Chain A
């Protein structure tokens, strides 16, 4: 069964909602959250390929600045 159908099966009250409204119900709040986050909060993940290898070799976590 597709995830969408499974989700509706579990949430009967949403079953009669139009798909467009259902999509809007989820995606607008998520868009608002991501819009409210300052750009500099999206920090880069710590590792370059070299850092990854170092971390694997030394078995010591590398922290990005």
Chain B
């Protein structure tokens, strides 16, 4: 319902981020990320959650880069990410259904050809590093820096929306 409210079922919303005329997707996801980050840090501060027990996805650098390029290309060509495609499908959008079909075909190709890209998939394993540890900062200081970066990005995004306007769609 929330995703529908901000217009995610429209493929033009996500494509708009790349062209600069609509950056709602960027703002929604980044605002959610910094809110969740602050929530976790405050929960940890109050002793409600032990962050050392929170699972961090391990980093496989090569597959992260290759996967990022493939996913990014898919986003801009299809106009959806996996989450927004299901939002679109939930209100009956045909392009979203086609995108989901492609998503499953991609999963199938990856699965069937796993032996071919196994080496690349598992290459450059870095463990579960945190940026704050890598930079030698406390989690709190890094969180504050990320908030400033996010707010700056939102400001630039709003500037881009004015700079590259598109007619109402």
Contact = CB atoms under 8 A, between A and B. Distances in A.
Nearest to A20: B154
B151 A42 contact: no
B74 to A, nearest CB: 30
How big is the B interface, by class? 20 to 34
B45 A41 contact: yes
Nearest to B38: A30
A35 B52 contact: no
Contacts of A31: 38, 143-144, 147-148
Interface string B129-167: 000000000111101100110010011001000000000
A2 B144 CA distance: 27
Nearest to A40: B138
A8 B144 CA distance: 25
Interface residues of A, number: 21
B47 interface: yes
Main secondary structure of the interface of B (DSSP, over half): helix
Interface in B35-85: 35, 38, 41-42, 44-45, 47-53
B133 to A, nearest CB: 11
B51 A32 contact: no
Contacts of B140: 34-37, 39
Interface in A5-56: 20, 23-24, 27-28, 30-32, 34-39, 41-46
Contacts of B35: 27
Contacts of B151: 20, 23-24, 27-28
B127 to A, nearest CB: 20
A43 B51 CA distance: 9
B31 interface: yes
Interface of A: 2, 20, 23-24, 27-28, 30-32, 34-39, 41-46
Interface pairs A-B: 6 shortest CB-CB: A35-B144, A44-B50, A31-B144, A31-B147, A34-B140, A42-B44
5 contacts: A30-B42, A34-B143, A35-B143, A37-B140, A45-B48
